[in-house]
Amino acid sequence: MSNPIADPGHGHSPAAWIAVTIMLLAFTIGTVAFVMDAPTVVWASAGLLVVGLIVGVVLKAIGYGVGGSKVAAKAH
């Protein structure tokens, strides 16, 4: 009765984990800086957010994304 659907991975890869970690750090720093009224740090954290996105895309491109050549598939 079950319909087997191929798992798309949902970001279970080194590229996704690193990108999300950088972006969470950026949001945390930006939030604290916003509360402390430090606009320069807020904008720097926005830049770090963009860096996290770029790092994720680059890591995926070099094979660390879902199904990448440098990632070993794990059985569930």
HSE-up of 15 (CA within 13 Å, CB side)?
22
Provide Rg for the chain, Cα atoms.
17
Q: Are the C-beta atoms of residues 67 and 8 closer than 8 Å to each other?
A: no
For 20-73, write each residue's pLDDT tens digit: 999 999 999 999 999 999 999 999 999 999 999 999 999 999 999 888 888 876
Overall pTM surpassing 0.85 (yes/no): no
C-alpha distances in Å from residue 12, one per residue of 37, 63, 71: 36, 13, 10
